[in-house]
């Protein structure tokens, strides 16, 4: 693989009061990769994503995107640098329409790219069909598509996807994972947090396994899929 490092985290520590959520996490993402972070409930996956977007304060360590230190940058400037975030739990605005939610994704950039809107509607035709519908009336899976679409509206170089399969019907999970591949094909680097380890490893180039705030394992997805430890702990095999 070419060595074109886009993003690095080094020795990242984050605490919630006295609770240490991340205890020295390091990882790296190359331009164009799909990288997944796996781990059980409470391992620190969402905390890692929120730390990257500067939605929580980091205690120590560094987060660099294209060589720029993010821990010194306010949250509202992160999107402008080229990173956007589809958060866990989707957090779409229920009283706004689908299209209004999508347009909000361009808020930090200040301009709408019509080609991007078209691309999102091609990827998720259900969003186009329901563009005038209030987002609160969408199914969970459709809201997830909307959250991903909204994150893409700013034309990011890297997108953070936190648990896109959570609480969604299997058929929609499949559709969403297929579109994550398409997002990657269009040149967007993807950092994906998932509890659905099998699906995530099948999709990703490489993975990291977080266990109670530390990276316990890392490697190419094929190696992780074959690893006995991953199979026992995350793929339900003995
Ligand atoms: P899940 O998949 O359940 O969301 P996760 O791997 O994303 O799990 P985090 O949500 O990052 O895990 O949580 C990491 C640790 O930090 C957990 O021990 C959790 O209880 C704790 N934690 C997370 N958010 C807070 C908070 N706002 N206040 C206090 N502790 C928190």
pLDDT along the chain (238 residues), means of 10: 86 95 97 95 94 95 96 90 89 92 84 91 95 94 92 96 89 89 96 92 96 95 92 74
- 161 near 86, Cβ under 8 Å? yes
Maximum alpha-carbon separation in the chain: 52
**DSSP codes of every residue in 116-183:** HHHHHHHH-HHHHHTTTSBGGGS-HHHHHHHHHHHHHTT--SEEEEE-TTTT--HHHHHHHHHHHHHH
In angstroms, how far is CA 152 from the centroid of its own chain? 11
Strand order in the sheet with 19-30: 19-30, 5-16, 60-65, 68-69
Nearest CA to ligand 1 atom 18: 42
User: Within 13 Å of residue 179, how many CA atoms lie on the same side as its CB?
Assistant: 26
**Separation of CA 199 and ligand 1 centre (Å):** 22
**Separation of CA 37 and ligand 1 centre (Å):** 14
Nearest CA to ligand 1 atom 28: 16
44 lines ligand 1 (CB under 6 A): yes
105 lines ligand 1 (CB under 6 A): no
18 lines ligand 1 (CB under 6 A): no
Alpha-carbon distance of 140 to 68, in angstroms, equals 35
Token pair recorded at residue 162: 């936190």
pLDDT for 170 equals: 85
Question: Which is the closest atom of ligand 1 to the Cα of 43?
Answer: 6
- 47 near 218, Cβ under 8 Å? no
- The rounded radius of gyration (Å) of the Cα atoms in the chain is 17
pLDDT for 238 equals: 52
> Is residue 105 classed as helix, strand or coil in its secondary structure?
coil
Residues in Cβ contact with 79 at an 8 Å cutoff, skipping those fewer than 6 apart: 108, 109, 154, 156
User: Is residue 102 left, alpha or beta, with left meaning phi > 0 and alpha meaning psi from -120 to 50?
Assistant: alpha
92 lines ligand 1 (CB under 6 A): no
pLDDT for 2 equals: 56
E strand or H helix at 208: strand 206-211
């Amino acid at each position: 693989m070419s060595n074109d490092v886009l993003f690095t985290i080094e020795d990242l520590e984050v605490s919630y009061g006295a609770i240490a959520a991340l205890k020295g996490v390091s990882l790296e993402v190359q331009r164009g990769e799909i990288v997944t972070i796996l781990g059980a409930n409470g391992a620190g996956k969402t905390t890692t994503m929120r730390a990257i977007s500067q939605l929580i304060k980091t205690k120590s360590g560094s987060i660099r995107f294209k060589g720029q230190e993010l821990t010194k940058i306010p949250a509202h400037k992160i999107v402008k640098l080229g990173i956007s975030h589809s958060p866990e739990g989707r957090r779409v605005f229920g009283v706004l329409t689908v299209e209004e939610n999508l347009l909000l994704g361009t808020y930090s950039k200040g301009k709408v790219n019509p080609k991007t809107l078209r691309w999102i509607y091609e990827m998720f035709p259900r969003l186009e069909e329901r563009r005038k519908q209030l987002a609160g009336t969408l199914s969970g899976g459709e809201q997830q598509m909307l959250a991903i679409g909204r994150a893409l509206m700013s034309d990011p170089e890297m997108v953070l996807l936190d648990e896109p399969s959570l609480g969604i019907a299997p058929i929609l999970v499949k559709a969403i994972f297929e579109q994550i591949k398409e997002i990657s094909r269009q040149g967007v680097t993807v950092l994906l947090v998932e509890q659905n380890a099998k699906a995530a490893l099948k999709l990703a180039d490489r993975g990291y396994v977080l266990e109670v705030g530390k990276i316990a394992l890392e490697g190419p997805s094929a190696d992780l899929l074959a690893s006995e430890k991953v199979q026992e702990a995350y793929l339900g095999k003995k």
